[in-house]
Chains A and B, each alone.
Chain A
Amino acid sequence: MLEKALVGSKRYWTLVFILLGIIGIAFLVYLKQLKEGLGITGMSRDVSWGFYISQFTFLVGVAASAVMIVIPYYLHNYKKFGRIVILGEFLAVSAVTMCMLFIFVDMGQPSRIFNVILHPTPNSILFWDAVVLSGYLLLNILIGWNALQAEYKGTPPPKWTKPLVYISIPWAISIHTVTAFIYQGLPGRHFWLTAIMAARFLASAFSSGPALLLLLALLVRKYTKFDPGREQLQSVAKIVTYAVIVNFFFFLLEVFTAGYSQIPGHLHSFEYLFFGIEGHGKLVPLMWISIFLSLFAIALLVIPPTRRNETTLTVACIAVFASLWIDKGFGLVIGGFVPNPFERVFEYWPTLPETIITLGVWATGFLILTVLYKVVISVRERVGFEESAH
């Protein structure tokens, strides 16, 4: 079946080669980083995690969100999602791969990565994160690939994949919970030290992930003969709507706790992110854009006509994705480090090499996604899709 990825239109190959080009350039920059050290990034003694880790965190959410399609389809027997469930699973595969790459490019001594396995340390959350992420990757590859193969042959998917599907549901929740635990269990980082962190992560994941999936599905419909289905997309839109509202609600809870209690440690990071401290406010415009985009998207999604209209729905999904990308990609990680343990403000901004490497990882993920989706679509263009076959 994989050979389906080797025959394609000119448009497909152009995309593949553009992505390969970006990956190639990013790889060269990565070699420079290997040689000169992580000093070529904007990270510092005070903001010791930056873009790489924040992208990782964001993408864990995207990966986990496949469950929002899996649950209705497998648990609630919502057969219509049969058309898109595999798109969700393969999105998860590509997102988890990006997560792992982001962790890898962030390491100071990548050649020692096997130390994590040679000296397993169950008290470290990072150890558990490695475990749940690799497990999740494996689960989604197995489930997605077998389902597609069955479809290709016109048989039902093998029986042994069914338990895997059920396992994958709590597993998806676990990857994002464990990722939140990386942050929320650290004494002295007040911004992260909040019991609602994991819940916030999940809410943000279940809005940004399905929003991305919806955009991808629209692209698939536009450029291929496979139609994910209008009703399906509307159902995803509703999921996005609920999740983005819950996410904003959780954000307001944090703001209330910090603002009303007036405890300096809790207040400072918010102050830095939204107003700037002592003239340092590089992230202020971005954070307000994120808030604005969220509110704007909520408005578009809540009003039924704009949710039903696919043009405004597209705009809303882009807004959700961008808003949450800023929130997690910048605000969450950087906000936790500023001010530093000495209550001093040192700012962070990604450098050019860092940005190129980040783009390279995204391109890798997108390439994987392109290839996997290509296979799916080729199968469906040939066999056609029957909901009953599933």
Chain B
Amino acid sequence: MYDGGKIIAGIVIFLIFALFPIYSNIGKAYQPPKPKLDTPEIQKMVVKKCVEPKEYMIPEHMKLIVDWRDAALREAKRTYINSRGERYTISLQNTCMKCHSNKKKFCDECHKHAGVKPYCWDCHFVKEEE
């Protein structure tokens, strides 16, 4: 069994290395690139603000839309009332992407940098950009 122990240790060490990128990232601050906000919808706005403060959106938007999704589909709660008391209709395509209609320059740019590839667009449409 002595050698067996070595083999198992080998496997564990392999896992440690293989998982390095995952745990080495935990807790580190992330410096995002500057996403473009010059869409027609946002330019129309007097006060340019997102559904929640930017400081919240940057780190938490992925959780927010997943919460949106679950609230809308699983609890039939399709209205979001934000911290400022404003109401939004919950929709990825018709709310987020209406303002951020420049998906390539906004979401994609940032995600490329972060190395994530949300699979949402397999199903959710984005209106074709020029």
Contacts and interface: CB of A to CB of B under 8 A. Distances in A.
B115 interface: no
B1 interface: yes
Contacts of B1: 1, 149
Interface in B1-33: 1, 3-4, 7
Contacts of A2: 3-4, 7
Contacts of B7: 2-3
Q: How large is the interface on A (under 10, 10 to 19, 20 to 34, 35 or more residues)?
A: under 10
Contacts of A149: 1
A3 B2 CA distance: 10
B10 to A, nearest CB: 11
A364 to B, nearest CB: 18
A174 B18 CA distance: 37
A149 B7 CA distance: 15
B20 to A, nearest CB: 22
Interface residues of B, number: 4
Question: What is the interface of chain B mostly: helix, strand, loop, or mixed?
Answer: helix
A1 B4 CA distance: 6
Interface string A1-27: 111000000000000000000000000
Contacts of B4: 1-3
Interface in A149-177: 149
A287 B34 CA distance: 66
A128 B4 CA distance: 33
A1 B1 CA distance: 5
Interface string A268-306: 000000000000000000000000000000000000000
Nearest to B6: A3
A280 B4 CA distance: 55
Nearest to A145: B4
A1 B7 CA distance: 10
Contacts of A1: 1, 3-4
A80 B125 CA distance: 67
Nearest to A1: B4
A3 B4 CA distance: 7
A8 to B, nearest CB: 16
A202 B36 CA distance: 64
Contacts of A3: 3-4, 7
A2 B4 CA distance: 6
A113 B1 CA distance: 34
A3 B6 CA distance: 10
Contacts of B3: 1-3
A182 to B, nearest CB: 26
B75 to A, nearest CB: 15
Nearest to A153: B1
Interface in A1-58: 1-3
Interface in B25-76: none
A1 B6 CA distance: 11
A3 B1 CA distance: 9
Interface string A111-151: 00000000000000000000000000000000000000100
A204 to B, nearest CB: 37
A138 B1 CA distance: 19
A298 B1 CA distance: 45
B121 to A, nearest CB: 15
A306 B3 CA distance: 46
Interface string B79-121: 0000000000000000000000000000000000000000000
A11 to B, nearest CB: 24
A3 to B, nearest CB: 5
A247 B82 CA distance: 64
A145 to B, nearest CB: 9
Nearest to B8: A2
Nearest to A109: B119
A149 B4 CA distance: 11
A149 B3 CA distance: 12
B70 to A, nearest CB: 11
Nearest to B119: A111
Nearest to A3: B3
B100 to A, nearest CB: 26
A289 B7 CA distance: 47
9 contacts: A1-B1, A1-B4, A2-B3, A2-B4, A2-B7, A3-B3, A3-B4, A3-B7, A149-B1
The 7 closest A-B pairs by CB, nearest first: A3-B3, A2-B4, A1-B4, A2-B7, A149-B1, A1-B1, A2-B3
Given A3-B3, A3-B4, 8 more contacts: A1-B1, A1-B3, A1-B4, A2-B3, A2-B4, A2-B7, A3-B7, A149-B1
Interface of A: 1-3, 149
Interface of B: 1, 3-4, 7
